[in-house]
Chain A
Amino acid sequence: METQVKVPNRLNSVSLIGQMMAASFADIKRQAAEGKKVVWANGLPAFLLAKGAHMPVLHAEGLIAGLAARGQEKPLQDAAEAFGLLPDACSYARSFIGLARIAKGDFHLDSSVNQDVYSMPKPDLYINVPGGGCGTGRLWGDSVAAICDIPAFHLEPRFNWDESDLEYNIADFIRQEQELIALMERVTGQPYDWNHLKEVLEEVKKATTLRQEIMKLCQHVPAPASFFDMAASIGLVCHLVGMPGTGDLLQKMKGEVEQRIAQGIGSVPVERYRLYWDGILTWPRLGVLARKFAALDACLVVGPYTHLLFLPRADMIDPERPLESIAYNLCDTCSNYDYTYRAKAVADFCQEYSIDGLIMSETQTCRGINSQSFAIMDGVARRLGLPAITIGGDSCDPRFYSDAQVDTRLQALLETIEARRKVRQL
């Protein structure tokens, strides 16, 4: 299969995100050195509540995805596996538990490894905010808390089994937020700074609104930005959530996207196939995958991971009502409903973004994100007459990824799209 002939047109502003992320990790170390209490967190950005307690937050997936994309995840996974964690366990969690062991001094890295990359301040509090109600987040948080001997708080939205559950579930989530705030006051010994939280929410509103606008602009053909760009932008509304400058960076990104639309420039040099991606990216193969799709004239345009998971309800963010704003963004989102709700969202995506085919990524150590892949394939793709495939991979463990398998299945998908186009032309 032809590869590396055409290269992806990555947005220039995306490289600034990496710089901002790197600066934030350095800043967490600095604040810890100054005596600030540090939060480690995983999952969705409701942990932004820690901002009101002036506690710097190290977000697991934000750190690990970046390390994995640079091929630096292995020492963390080695640290976890030396502890007894098996590779079938969530690789985000495994890596973060490895980081906790290193921070605690229970695991010593090989001297050939860049120690600074893995040296993070030990946490004083753990906050787990699981995406899609993933119970694994609880195990993950409890593991880090047990290793580091700190409290863990599980800020868990109740699942909307019926749509009528929503009202109670939002009230329940707000109660949890209040309890977390009281805990943070005990940990820091300081009263909670509600004014600062409101300021943070102003920035969050600006950033999430802009991000939604950028994603909507990608309905344009050719798509001015890809799923890869949008995946990178998750950092701005997750690990970096509410940080000054995130909104400005997204404003820059939007300007670049608008300029591309005006000039007819797409995210890939030739856009012949517009594809939907379900699941987490295999971060250690980020570059490989981006180049692979560009070489095949295929653009990954949209997916629930980028578009529906991280503070997707910008419209519901009101800085004057911070707890309610966060609660809606956790409880009333696609991942917190079952198949029927999600199928409708995916079908809408396929139509709004002019999708030609669907790719369901098997994130093999994540049992949360994959749960409805086949239902989507059966109930959405076939109903809309779109071909769909599954491909193997994993969020952070490259051992679950096979280039040969991905190539074969992608080829089959694109050939099917072509064949159906020909049939339609007859």
Chain B
Amino acid sequence: MSGSNMKDVMNRFRDVVDTPYEKLKLWKEANGKKVVGCSPMQFPEELVHAAGMLPVVLQETDEAITTGFSYIYPFYCGITRNIIDIAVKGQLSFFDGLVYADICIQNRNAACTLKQVMPASYVEYVQLPTSLTRAGVMDDTIRELERIKAKLEQLAGRKIDDTSLKQSILVFNRNRLRLRQLHELRRANPGLLSYRDLQVIVKSSMLMPKEEHTELLEGLVTQLEKMKPSSLEGKRLFLSGHLCQSLKPDILDLIEGVGGIIVDDDLYTGYRYYAVDVAVDGSPIQALAKRYLEKSLPVPTRSYLPARWEKYLVERAKDSRAQGVVVLVAKYCEPHLFSYPFVKEALEIAGVPHIMLETEHEVVSLEGVRTRLQAFVEMLN
């Protein structure tokens, strides 16, 4: 792949990410396949893929919230308000189905509101166990996955057998593997690719057919492997937060603009999306359940006191040799609001400097954020 090809690939990814729903609508018309929107984080997209449909992870758009305020208060998080707003405006009507997972109360409310405002659409709610120390969680998880599988079969009009589900798992694992390779390449040499571009690549993976994305990504990774490292001057930073929604690029520009180099992350539209594969031996449903229960990274939307998120986060930040951590809290995100005090305490005890920034759907006062970031970067050793 040449340099110009790399540019083409990035442009293709950007094109998908910039106007996701318009592109998906066009894709659906061109391919005649059903498209299912999945709420972020816990739902295994592989199930939708195995039913011959295109799974995509619902993304927050930049559109100003207007009509949606007739359905939701302003003190709900950005992605919840935005999805309801664009649903009310009819922008999600092309989806053949929407699958929401129980990750927080706002996600549940979003599912209920979508069911109400999109009466002609299929909206499903997935309740995987959230208390992981409870007895019988494996059986409960398998039961719920089987229930959703049956619903998806109905929607797709075809059976999901073990062979097709295993095949889908392989397709997704391959994409995750390439994303991890890219992540490691960039981690070793952040000058290879801007963090903003890395975000574009991950988000596009959530919005494109995995097979196509992997093919483009493989070419990109091969090319990046051959590139000469270009060293960057600046303070090494680790990004954490935004548990289920993507970051606005403005904040990334600010971080890099004040002399920060983002060397690693713990974001949903980052490492968390591709960190863990699904096993391919044995029952595929059981493998999906095991991934959810035993292999997923710690996250505050699920209760598991023995493995608290903050401990994991400190280890990751230290492992990345970051000089500081930028904690990005999506305003009104309760799982993050309640976790932040513990994250703060753990980072302080570990001697890792951090700054917490609240982000909003409506980007406000970037100058204030710039000043805080600048001060933070300047104080880092």
Do A and B share a complex? yes
Whole-angstrom CA separation of A375 from B117 in the bound complex: 9
11 pairs of residues in contact across A and B, judged by CB atoms under 8 Å = A85-B341, A135-B108, A135-B301, A138-B131, A139-B339, A142-B338, A143-B342, A172-B140, A179-B134, A179-B135, A367-B332
Interface residue A209 (Cβ < 8 Å from any Cβ of B) = no
Q: Which residue numbers of A lie inside 8 Å of B, CB to CB? A: 80, 83-86, 88-90, 93, 132-136, 138-143, 145-146, 151-154, 156, 158-159, 161, 172, 175-176, 179, 338-339, 362, 364-365, 367-368, 370-375, 378
Whole-angstrom CA separation of A135 from B336 in the bound complex: 12
Interface residues of B in 353-381 (CB under 8 A from A): 358
Q: A89-B338, A372-B112, A375-B113 are in contact. Are A135 and B102 (CB under 8 A)?
A: yes
Q: Does B305 lie within 8 Å of A152, measured CB to CB?
A: yes
Residues of B within 8 A of A80 (CB): 341
Q: Does B335 lie within 8 Å of A176, measured CB to CB?
A: no
Residues of B within 8 A of A152 (CB): 303, 305
Whole-angstrom CA separation of A88 from B78 in the bound complex: 14
Closest to B135 in A: A179
Residues of A within 8 A of B339 (CB): 139
Q: Does A136 lie within 8 Å of B338, measured CB to CB?
A: yes
Interface residue B320 (Cβ < 8 Å from any Cβ of A) = no
Choose from A89, A153, A154, A338 the contact partner of B334 (Cβ within 8 Å). A89
Residues of A within 8 A of B108 (CB): 133, 135, 159, 371
Closest to B356 in A: A84
- How far does the Cβ of B109 sit from chain A's closest Cβ, in whole Å? 4
Whole-angstrom CA separation of A378 from B335 in the bound complex: 30
Q: Does A90 lie within 8 Å of B334, measured CB to CB?
A: yes
Q: Does A134 lie within 8 Å of B105, measured CB to CB?
A: yes
Closest to A340 in B: B116
Interface residues of B in 332-348 (CB under 8 A from A): 332, 334-335, 337-342, 344-345
Interface residues of B in 227-267 (CB under 8 A from A): none
* Segment of B69-77, B171-179, B195-203 engaged in the interface with chain A: B69-77
Q: Does B112 lie within 8 Å of A154, measured CB to CB?
A: no
Interface residue B106 (Cβ < 8 Å from any Cβ of A) = yes
Choose from B103, B125, B131, B344 the contact partner of A156 (Cβ within 8 Å). B131
Interface residue B324 (Cβ < 8 Å from any Cβ of A) = no
Residues of A within 8 A of B105 (CB): 132-136, 367-368, 371
Q: A85-B340, A371-B112, A374-B70 are in contact. Are A176 and B305 (CB under 8 A)?
A: no
Q: How many B residues have CB within 8 A of the partner chain? A: 45
Q: A175-B136, A339-B112 are in contact. Are A154 and B340 (CB under 8 A)?
A: no
- How far does the Cβ of A355 sit from chain B's closest Cβ, in whole Å? 22
Residues of A within 8 A of B301 (CB): 135
Choose from B103, B130, B331, B338 the contact partner of A93 (Cβ within 8 Å). B338
Residues of B within 8 A of A90 (CB): 334
Q: A139-B300, A145-B305, A339-B115 are in contact. Are A367 and B131 (CB under 8 A)?
A: no
Residues of B within 8 A of A154 (CB): 130-131, 134, 303
Binary interface profile of B, 96-130, with partner A (CB < 8 Å = 1, else 0)? 00000011111011001101100000001101001
- Count of A-B contacts judged by CB separation below 8 Å: 125
Interface residue B23 (Cβ < 8 Å from any Cβ of A) = no
Q: Does B71 lie within 8 Å of A159, measured CB to CB?
A: no
- How far does the Cβ of B14 sit from chain A's closest Cβ, in whole Å? 33
Closest to A137 in B: B105
Whole-angstrom CA separation of A375 from B72 in the bound complex: 9
Interface residues of B in 279-298 (CB under 8 A from A): none
Choose from A85, A146, A179, A370 the contact partner of B305 (Cβ within 8 Å). A146
Interface residues of B in 63-83 (CB under 8 A from A): 70-73, 75-76
Known interface pairs A133-B105, A135-B301; 8 further A-B residue pairs with C-beta atoms within 8 A, sorted by A's residue number: A85-B340, A135-B108, A135-B130, A136-B104, A154-B134, A338-B115, A374-B71, A375-B116
- How far does the Cβ of A379 sit from chain B's closest Cβ, in whole Å? 8
Q: A154-B130, A374-B71 are in contact. Are A159 and B125 (CB under 8 A)?
A: yes
Q: Which residue numbers of B lie inside 8 Å of A, CB to CB? A: 70-73, 75-76, 102-106, 108-109, 112-113, 115-116, 124-125, 127, 130-131, 134-136, 140, 300-301, 303, 305, 308, 329, 331-332, 334-335, 337-342, 344-345, 358
Q: A161-B125, A179-B134, A367-B76 are in contact. Are A89 and B305 (CB under 8 A)?
A: no
Whole-angstrom CA separation of A152 from B131 in the bound complex: 10
Residues of B within 8 A of A142 (CB): 300, 303, 305, 338
Residues of B within 8 A of A139 (CB): 300, 334-335, 338-339
Q: Does A88 lie within 8 Å of B127, measured CB to CB?
A: no
Q: Does B113 lie within 8 Å of A371, measured CB to CB?
A: yes
Closest to B107 in A: A135
Q: A133-B108, A161-B125 are in contact. Are A88 and B303 (CB under 8 A)?
A: no
- How far does the Cβ of B341 sit from chain A's closest Cβ, in whole Å? 3
Whole-angstrom CA separation of A151 from B109 in the bound complex: 29
Whole-angstrom CA separation of A360 from B73 in the bound complex: 11
Residues of A within 8 A of B131 (CB): 138, 153-154, 156
Whole-angstrom CA separation of A374 from B81 in the bound complex: 13
Whole-angstrom CA separation of A176 from B213 in the bound complex: 43
Whole-angstrom CA separation of A80 from B335 in the bound complex: 16
Residues of A within 8 A of B109 (CB): 367-368, 371-372
Q: Does B303 lie within 8 Å of A138, measured CB to CB?
A: yes
Whole-angstrom CA separation of A409 from B54 in the bound complex: 47
Residues of A within 8 A of B102 (CB): 133, 135, 159
Whole-angstrom CA separation of A17 from B31 in the bound complex: 66
Whole-angstrom CA separation of A158 from B344 in the bound complex: 32
6 shortest interchain CB distances as A-B pairs: A84-B341, A371-B109, A139-B338, A89-B337, A161-B125, A83-B341
Residues of A within 8 A of B70 (CB): 374, 378
Whole-angstrom CA separation of A16 from B253 in the bound complex: 61
Q: Does B308 lie within 8 Å of A146, measured CB to CB?
A: yes
Closest to A368 in B: B105
Closest to A82 in B: B341
Q: Does B303 lie within 8 Å of A373, measured CB to CB?
A: no
Whole-angstrom CA separation of A138 from B132 in the bound complex: 12
Q: A154-B131, A339-B115 are in contact. Are A375 and B338 (CB under 8 A)?
A: no
Q: A135-B103, A364-B75 are in contact. Are A140 and B338 (CB under 8 A)?
A: yes
Whole-angstrom CA separation of A152 from B341 in the bound complex: 18
Residues of B within 8 A of A146 (CB): 305, 308, 342
Whole-angstrom CA separation of A80 from B344 in the bound complex: 13
Q: Does A86 lie within 8 Å of B340, measured CB to CB?
A: yes
- How far does the Cβ of B164 sit from chain A's closest Cβ, in whole Å? 26
- How far does the Cβ of A181 sit from chain B's closest Cβ, in whole Å? 12
Whole-angstrom CA separation of A326 from B103 in the bound complex: 25
Residues of B within 8 A of A136 (CB): 104-105, 334, 338
Interface centre among A143, A152, A367, A372 (most CB of B within 10 A): A367
Choose from B116, B127, B305, B345 the contact partner of A84 (Cβ within 8 Å). B345
Q: Does A88 lie within 8 Å of B134, measured CB to CB?
A: no
- How far does the Cβ of A172 sit from chain B's closest Cβ, in whole Å? 8
